[in-house]
Structure formats: structure tokens, C-alpha cells
A and B are shown apart, each in its own frame.
Chain A
Amino acid sequence: MTPSDQSSTHVLANAAPSDVKPGDSPKTYLDSNELIINMGPQHPATHGVLRVILKLDGERVLGTECVIGYLHRGVEKIAENRTYAMFNPYVDRMDYVAAVSNGLGYCEAVEKLLNVEAPARAKFIRVILTELNRIASHQLWLGTHALDIGAMTPLFYTFRDREEILKIFEKYCGARLTTHAFRIGGCQYETYAGFEKEVKNFVKFVTPKIDEYEALLTNNRIWMERTKNVGVISGKDCVALGVTGPVLRASGVKWDVRKAQPYAAYSEFEFDIPVGTKGDTYDRYLVRMAEIRQSLRIIEQAVNGIPEGPIMAKVPKVIKPPIGEIYHSIESPKGELGYFIVSDGTTQPYRLRVRPPSFVNLQALDVMVRGLLVADVVAVIGTIDIVLGEVDR
């Protein structure tokens, strides 16, 4: 079975993509056994503690099953036992590669529940940091994805440049990775002296670096052979499987929460939504590279137009939202990151649900790798861009 003749109706026809049935093999040879192999939880290419059980016919993948939960910390249960403000740092620990995005989603959800709005300046700071974080996340993705496919060098280049973003974070809020950059109602910290200049310098610094990554990979013959027509998923399947983010866009669905339902200050900026056509790994690579450039565009606009004013809205010291429930989602680097909060009028959330993009996107792995080779599984896991901290929560 070639990747292209995976029927696009496969998902809907086979309601449970993740189950591995014995009779699935498209071709079994006389007296041949299927090889069951455990990829993970300790494996160099599963980006953490993901365990994928592969059923192989030679090197061809007949089916996969993901076993997750090795990193489960019960974030949602913890939320029910912490006040709204206390829970804020916990969300950074989910998608630790894009901690700022997580914080943004959570703060905005609670703000919505409180029916307050962050001041304009805070919103701009949020946009700048979140977009920087998106770039950092995509850089980390690119490095590890390229490493999975065997190109070692881009990893070090992307980490070198990601460092500049982390330096800005560190200067802004003291933390590099789990930033806890935002507070409910706005931002805790005013920008430090020279923040705008540093961000502008970063944009100037990183633009040629992105060309450098592309020079290493985009037209590299082996890269193209390894990624084109690998892990193809149609837009229809993406929607059916709830896949969001760059994976969805690479399949040709032009949808981005930042445009569809703008939050923070995104409605004030001009940017494009890059889309792919084929929905293969190469398209996803191109979409993410284009997204980095769009993020730079947003950052530039935001830094130039950052208004003066307060950075914190009037929020009571003890946050006690009225009884009610709210769902708020943002476009995290991985896809739609949503928070569903039920308040019972006390200081602690009654129920807090995180809609993790990595978790939902990972479900598509089975559809994407069936019929491909072992090497492609690694490429596809990389291209979905999962963070196990978020998958398992």
C-alpha cells in the first residue's frame, strides 16, 4: 500500500484508528510472522516517553498503537485544589516548550470568566512574548525533527538561535522555560529597559538564520525524498480527527484561531495563514517555516505599535469568578489549546479541563503511518510536533 492510496475515507470508515487488528495486513506472505516492536517509552525519536507499539511486516507498518500517560501528573485534578492564581504556573509545565502560550490561554480564559479584559499594553506584550515563544517552539521542533530524519546539524543551529529568545524571556520574567510570564488580568512585569530594541534586534538577527535553516533543508534532495508524500493526511481527515495547528493548515484548511476568533491583540496585526496543499511532511515543514516568518511579522508590528498605559486590569486580590463556565482557546504552536473552566463561585476552579493539541493530534499518527516504513514513523512523530508533557498532562 503506497501512502497515496490510503483512502481519505479511511478515518470515517474505520471508526477506531488506533486499534491494531490482526487481519489488517494488506499483504501477508506465506509463513511470515508479523513483528511487534515497541518504540519507546525510551527511544531517541519519540520526543519523551511516548510508547508506540508497531506491528510490522518486514519494515512496513501494519498498525500502531500509542501508549501514553507515562508523564501524567493530574494537572486537571491539581487545578481543582488550587486557587486560580496558584494554578497559573502549573500550566507552564504542560507544553513546556511553549509555556508562554499555555499561560496566555489560561489567563485569558480566567479573565473571560471574570469578565475583565487586559489593558491594551498588556495585550501587546502578550502577543510579542507569545509569538517569540511560537518561534522558539517551531525552532525546537525543526531541530529535533531534522535530527529524527538524520540531519544532525540543524538541531544545533536552531538551539543557538532559540537561545536569544530565551534570553529575552529571562530578562523579562526571570525564567527561561517555564516562564509564568502573565498574570490573570494582564502582566505582572513592565517591559525592561531596552526590551523593544532587543526584540527588534532579535527579528533582525533571526531572519537570515531562518534562511540558513531553509538552505540546509528546503531544497535538500534527501530531505525532500524523506518528507514528500510521507504521512499524508487530507484536510477532511484532519477535521474528522480533530487535528489542528500547522498539521491542519498543511492539509489545506486555512484555519487559525488567531484569525478565526482573534484573542489578545491579534485582530490588530496583519499576517497571513500559510497553508499547504498535499498535507505531507514536507508541507508541514514549509508551513511551519512560513509561520515563523509570519510570527516575525507580527512581532515587528507589535513592537512598533506597543501602546503606553497600564499593564494590569482591575482584578480583585482574591479571584472569585461568578458561577459559570467558559471555554477559551488560543492557537498554540501545536494547535488549538483550549481551557474549559467551571466555576462554582469559590476561589478554586470547580473543574478545569485542558484541551491539549498534542494529545488530539497524536491520534492521527496511526492514519498517517499505516503502510509506510519504520523510518517514516519517526518522521511522522516528529512532524506532528508533540510534547509529551502536554499529551499526558
Chain B
Amino acid sequence: MTEETKSPVPPPALNTTGEDNSATKVAPVNAAAASKSEGPVPLPWASPLVEKYRSQYGSGIEAQTYLGQNYITADSTLIHNFLRQLRDDDQFDFCVDITAAHYPKREKQFEVIWILYSFARNERLRVKVKIADGASIPSSISIWPTTNWLEREVFDMFGIQFEGHPDLKRILLPDGWKGHPLRKDYGILQQDQEWVQINLGIESGQ
């Protein structure tokens, strides 16, 4: 088990450049944060599992570990097969969660994250894929049925399309709502005024 209960503190980074080289990391918002050097840094993660997939997919996947938590960044074209293999071959039979994050400054604005767990290995793994705005990724419902609502929520909140999802519609917001609230360009006070006026009969919900 490579879990984090003992939380091995990674060696302090010797050079500041080593910190944000990873493309998986957030584009720093201010320079001050980027120049902080004491924090732990993501390290390359080596394990038989990674070796196996590296040999299969080559540079399509990139494995890292941060604070004892492992994650793999995969290419969006091979993600479906990769996830299926993770479930079938490596017993990651429990998809804990799917979520996404929005990085408007990047070329590929969205990062979709699968949080997986294997009962047999008692191990967690995150799989990430980066996609551009408007691009779609294959739905993983056929792999884990639980992703039905989770994908709907990601669609609702970020507007990411999941190809092959049988019923991709809004889940938490009302059906006619415009906008995807968890995008960074959606202000916290913003709302679909038109929807509010038509459906609730009030000027504004604020």
C-alpha cells in the first residue's frame, strides 16, 4: 500500500525550477506563489503498474506522485481503453468520483479527473485527462455505471461533453439554465437572470 497514512515528506526541492515544471500543475496565478520553494513537489512515480502502461502507451501517459498520492495523466484519445484496462486488469473496480477543473489560461482548458479505488489493492489512483473547451471525451458509464450522475454533474458544472452518455442533461441546475457555474469565467454572483425571471417571476434571485 502506497497510501499516505505515514505521509513520507518528500525531500525539499533543491531548485525552484523543479516545482512547476509539471504540466499537470496549475498555472500560477501570482508570481509569489510560484517562487515558494519549501513545499513538497510532485515526483515521478514508478511502479510495475506504470511500467506496464508506459510500455503499452508510451508517452501517452505520465505518472506522478504528490504527498503519497499517485496520479496518471493520460492522453484524451486513449483514456477510454486505459480506464477499462485499469478496471479489468488492475482491479480498480470502484470509481469514487469524477470531477473536473477549469484552467482558462491553458490551451487545453479542462482537466477531467477520475478518482479510482481498488478494493483488492486498497489503493487509490487518480487519472487525469486534459481537453480543450468544446471537445468531448468518451463516457465511462460502460466501465463504471456510477459515473452516470457524476458525468452529468461535470457536464452541468463545466459543460464538458461525454460522448456515449445516454442521458447527458443537467442534474443540479434546472434544465433550461444557461452557463456552467464552475467555470472560472462564471462569477460567483452571476446567474441566469432570464431563467429566473421567466420561471420564478421575480426580477432577480439575488
Quick check: do A and B touch in the complex, using CB within 8 A? yes
Task: Tell me if A172 counts as interface (CB < 8 A to partner B).
Answer: no
Interface string of B1-23 (1 = CB under 8 A from A): 00111010100000000011000
Q: Nearest chain A CB to B158's CB is how many angstroms away? A: 10
Whether A324 lies near B99 (C-beta < 8 A) is no
Whether A340 lies near B115 (C-beta < 8 A) is yes
A82 to B42, CA, bound (A): 26
Whether A344 lies near B33 (C-beta < 8 A) is yes
Closest to B102 in A: A351
In the complex, chain A residues whose CB is within 8 Å of the CB of B19:
323
Interface of B is mostly: loop
A361 to B165, CA, bound (A): 19
Whether B26 lies near A344 (C-beta < 8 A) is yes
Whether A76 lies near B182 (C-beta < 8 A) is yes
A304 to B69, CA, bound (A): 34
Whether B96 lies near A242 (C-beta < 8 A) is yes
Interface size on A, residues (CB 8 A): 59
Task: Tell me if B181 counts as interface (CB < 8 A to partner A).
Answer: yes
Whether B172 lies near A77 (C-beta < 8 A) is no
Whether A68 lies near B171 (C-beta < 8 A) is yes
In the complex, chain B residues whose CB is within 8 Å of the CB of A12:
145
Task: Tell me if B167 counts as interface (CB < 8 A to partner A).
Answer: yes
Task: Tell me if A252 counts as interface (CB < 8 A to partner B).
Answer: no
One of B96, B113, B146 near A240 (C-beta < 8 A): B146
A350 to B26, CA, bound (A): 9
Task: Tell me if A18 counts as interface (CB < 8 A to partner B).
Answer: yes
One of B33, B119, B144, B181 near A242 (C-beta < 8 A): B144
Whether B67 lies near A112 (C-beta < 8 A) is yes
Task: Tell me if B53 counts as interface (CB < 8 A to partner A).
Answer: no
Given A15-B141, A242-B94, A262-B5, also A327-B149 (CB < 8 A):
no
Whether A345 lies near B119 (C-beta < 8 A) is no
One of A68, A255, A322 near B39 (C-beta < 8 A): A322
With A344-B26, A363-B148 given, name 9 new contacts (CB 8 A). Answer: A239-B119, A322-B38, A345-B32, A350-B101, A351-B102, A355-B99, A360-B97, A360-B150, A362-B149
Q: 29 A–B contact pairs at CB < 8 A?
A: A12-B145, A15-B166, A17-B145, A18-B148, A68-B171, A69-B172, A76-B157, A80-B188, A115-B40, A117-B7, A239-B93, A240-B93, A240-B144, A261-B124, A321-B39, A324-B25, A327-B126, A338-B96, A338-B97, A338-B115, A345-B32, A345-B36, A351-B102, A353-B97, A355-B115, A360-B149, A360-B150, A362-B149, A363-B148
